[in-house]
Structure formats: structure tokens, C-alpha cells
Amino acid sequence: MVHDADQRLAASPVEPEPAGERPSVAAVRRSGDVLIASGQVAARDGKLLAEGRVGEDVSLDVARSCAWQCARNVLTAVQGELALDAVEQVETVSVWVASAPGFTDQHLVADAATALFTEVFGDDAGRHARVALGVAALPTGSPVEVQATFRVRTAS
């Protein structure tokens, strides 16, 4: 049995169209009691807090402020879907740090995002698994990007 998705794939071009209009990406997606928030960059009021790579263009302290802002932006996206009190547990947090060669303190940058999640949800519900990765560059030149997955309370 051929399904519509199979037919659409068969009909799609082999190569992508030239860059132009960007596809729509959801700020959050919910599947049952799991809520996944898309990655958020270090922007406030439509403007990046800093640009560039940590350890080169951006200091550790500024990068930590960026991680905090990214985490706030994740929480704002979650609030667009449900009240924060509906979050039962922060499950995972991924932090990408645009890093200069030799910069190895990504974990210290990520600690600022972890601190905000813990502050908002408390020590138990805010405690999460985490990865902090150094990368060459991030979208829009942001020095940090944060993505998170949450478990939400189900109606009883």
C-alpha cells in the first residue's frame, strides 16, 4: 500500500530549491507528555546580545549571559504552548557554544542555562541531563544556542 507521504517523496525534486523563503519551524512540539522546544539563540527584543565565538570575540561572562537569555527564550516558547506550572520535569538541555579554537569551557557557559531552569522549576524538576558542545558557528552569529525537552503533566 502506497501512502501519501511516499507519493510526495517520490514526486519531490532530487535537489533542494535555491535558498530563499525559509520553511516554517515550530517553536515547540508536543507529543503526549513530552514537549520539545526548538533551539533559541541569544536574542532579546529582536537583537543579539553578542555576536561571534566565545574565547575570541565574546568573553566567558558575556557568553553566560547569552546562555541565560537563550534559556529564557526557550521558556517563553514553552509559555506559548502551556503554563510553566504544567512542566513536571526538565528532561534534557542541549547547549551549543560557538567556540574559538582551544576554548574548552563550554560547560561553564551551559551552567548559566542550567541555573535558570533550576531557578524556575526548582532543584528536583529543574534538574536535567545536559550536553554542552563547542561548534565553529551558530545561526545569525549567536555565540550560544539552547534547546530543551520537557515532560508535562497529563490531565488526570
Residue 130, domain CATH: 3.30.1330.40
Does position 2 have pLDDT exceeding 80, yes or no?
A: no
pLDDT at residue 156, as a whole number: 54
- Residue 8 domain-assigned (yes or no): no
Identify the weakest region by mean pLDDT among 3-7, 57-61, 97-101, 138-142: 3-7
Query: What SS3 class is residue 11?
Result: helix
* pTM of the entire predicted model: 0.89
- Residue 95 domain-assigned (yes or no): yes
AA identity, residue 126: G
Query: What SS3 class is residue 9?
Result: helix
- Residue 20 domain-assigned (yes or no): no
pLDDT grade for 7, boundaries at 50, 70 and 90: confident
Which pLDDT tens digit goes with each residue over 127-140? 999 999 999 999 99
Measure the CA–CA gap between 86 and 84, rounded to whole angstroms: 5
Instruction: Specify whether the CB–CB gap between 154 and 35 falls below 8 A.
Output: no
- Residue 3 domain-assigned (yes or no): no
The overall longest dimension of the chain from CA atoms, in Å, is 57
Query: Structurally, how many domains does the chain consist of?
Result: 1
CB-based burial label for 32 (10 Å; 0-12, 13-18, 19+): exposed
- Residue 62 domain-assigned (yes or no): yes
- Residue 70 domain-assigned (yes or no): yes
Does position 30 have pLDDT exceeding 60, yes or no?
A: yes
- Residue 69 domain-assigned (yes or no): yes
The three three-digit cell numbers of residue 56, written as one number: 575570541
Mean pLDDT across the chain: 93
pLDDT at residue 117, as a whole number: 98
Read off the DSSP letter of residue 147. E
The range of the structural domain enclosing residue 120 comes to 25-152
- Residue 9 domain-assigned (yes or no): no
